[in-house]
Amino acid sequence: MNESGIPTKVAARKRMRVLTILLTSGLAFLAPSAISPGLPALQADFAHLENAELLSRLVLTMPMLFIALSGPFVGYAVDRFGRRDVLILCSFLYGVSGVSALFLDSLTAILISRAFLGVFLAGILTSATALIGDYFEGDERNRIAGLQGAFMSFGTLLFVVIAGMLAEIHWRMGFTLFVYAFLMIPLMYLSLYEPVAKNTAGKTAEPPLTLGQIGVIGWVCVLTFLGMIGFFMIPSQTQFFLVEIGVDDPTRAGIAIGMFNLTAGFASLAYSRIRARMSPEAIFALIFAFGGVGFVMTSQATTFTGTLIAMAAGGFSVGAFIPNANMAIISRASMAVRGRALGALTTLFFLGQFASPFYSVPIATETSVGYAFYVTGYAFLAFSAGFAIYAAVARKRANGKSGASGAA
C-alpha cells in the first residue's frame, strides 16, 4: 500500500487513467496546431483559387464549426453508447480524418476532411471531459480539470513547434502528427473503463431556468464568442504577420505561437490561486488587459524577438480565460442547469474560433495583419476597462451590504 492506504496496483491504475485522459486532451489542439505554421505555404499552393486567403484560414477553423454543430448529437451518443467506446472510436476516426489530408489534392476535399475531423474531435472532448466527471469528485476533480487545461496549452506548444519544423519540408507534413491519435488508442483500451451509471431514482424534476441564471449564461457565452474571435487570431494570423515583417520561416512561426501557449499553460496552472483572490469579473478585466497589451505589442513588433515578447504577454490572457468562463457559470448556475450552461459555452467557444477569419481577414486584406492585431488589442483594452469598472462597483456594493449587516 502507499501512504494514503491505497493498494499500489490500484493507485498505479488510477495514475494511468489520469495520464491517459490528460494525453487524450492534447488531441483537442492538435487540430489547429498541425497546420497552423504551414498556412502561408498552403495558401500559396492554392493561390489560383478565388478567395484563397479566406479558404486557407478555413482549413484551420473548419473543425471548430463542426464541433459546435455536432456537439448536441455527440453528447447524446456519449450517454447512449458509453464514454469509453465513443472515445476510442472517435480517436480512430479522428486519426484517419487528420492523416487523410496528406493525400488530398483538392482544397475542397481537405476542407471536408477537416469538417469530419471536427465531428470526431467533439466526441473526444465530450467523452474525455465526461470521464473526468465520472471518475473523480470534489477537489480532485477540480485539480484534474486544471491539469487538463494545462496539458492542452503545453500540448499545443509542443505540436505547433514540431509542425513548424515539418512545414519546412512541406506544409502537408504537419498532418502526419495525427498519427498521435492512433498511439493513444491502446492506452485508452488498457487503462479506461466504462463508468457505472449512478442510480437517479427518486430525483425531482429539474427546475426551470431563472432570469438570473439566463443572464449569467448569456453574458458569459457572448463574451466567450467575442473573445475567441479575437484570441484565435494567434494561430490563424501570427504566421502571416511574421511574413509581413520579413520572417518567412514556418519554424519560427511555430515557436511564436508556441510561446503564446507556453505562458497560457502557466496561467492555467495559476488560475486557482488567482480565483481565490479575485472575482470572475475582475479576472476578466485582467485577462483582457493582458490580451490587449499583447495584441498591441504584436502590432508594433518589427522583429521576431519583439513578436515573442508580445506573444508571451498575450498568452496569460487565454490561459485564464477558459477556466474563468467555466467558473463564472459553475459558481452562479445551479447544478440542475449547469450541464446545459456549459454545453452552450462550448458551442459559442468554437463558433467564435470558426468566425475569427471572417473578422480578421477583411481587415488584414484592406490594411495589414498588424493593423488587425492593433484594432483587436484596443477592443480588448476597452473590454478590460468595462469589466474593471463593473468589478469595482460590485465590490463596493458588496462592502456596503456587509457594512449595513454589521451595523444592524
When pLDDT is averaged across residues 287-294 and rounded to a whole number, the result is 92
Examine the pLDDT at 255 and tell me if it is beyond 90.
no
247: left (phi over 0), alpha (psi -120 to 50) or beta: beta
Say if CB 37 and CB 163 are below 8 A apart: yes
Closest CA relative to residue 238, chosen from 315, 165, 153: 315
Examine the pLDDT at 297 and tell me if it is beyond 50.
yes
- The DSSP output letter for 259 is H
List pLDDT tens digits, range 41-66. Answer: 888 888 888 887 788 878 887 888 89
In the chain, count H helices and then E strands: 15, 0
CATH number of this structure's domain 1-193: 1.20.1250.20
Residue ranges per structural domain of the chain: 1-193, 210-397
When pLDDT is averaged across residues 124-134 and rounded to a whole number, the result is 77
Closest CA relative to residue 263, chosen from 156, 382, 162: 156
- Among 3-17, 39-53, 329-343, which stretch is predicted with the lowest mean pLDDT? 329-343
| pLDDT at residue 202, as a whole number | 47
Nine-digit cell at 112? 471536408
Closest CA relative to residue 40, chosen from 264, 177, 298, 238: 238
Q: Which residue has the cell 477558459?
A: 322
Examine the pLDDT at 132 and tell me if it is beyond 90.
no
Encode 101-119: b = buried (16+ Cβ within 10 Å), e = exposed.
Answer: beeeeebeebebbbbbbbb
**Do 1-193 and 210-397 fold alike per CATH?**
yes
d(CA 7, CA 259): 41
List pLDDT tens digits, range 195-212. Answer: 765 544 445 444 555 666
List pLDDT tens digits, range 234-252. Answer: 888 888 888 898 888 777 8
Closest CA relative to residue 25, chosen from 160, 168, 140, 146: 146
Closest CA relative to residue 61, chosen from 280, 351, 360: 351
d(CA 320, CA 268): 5
Alpha helix segments (H runs only) across 136-232? 138-169, 179-191, 211-231
Backbone angles phi, psi at 277, to 5 degrees: -115, -15
When pLDDT is averaged across residues 297-307 and rounded to a whole number, the result is 90
When pLDDT is averaged across residues 365-392 and rounded to a whole number, the result is 91
Note the residue count of the chain.
408
What CATH topology corresponds to 210-397? Growth Hormone; Chain: A; (1.20.1250)
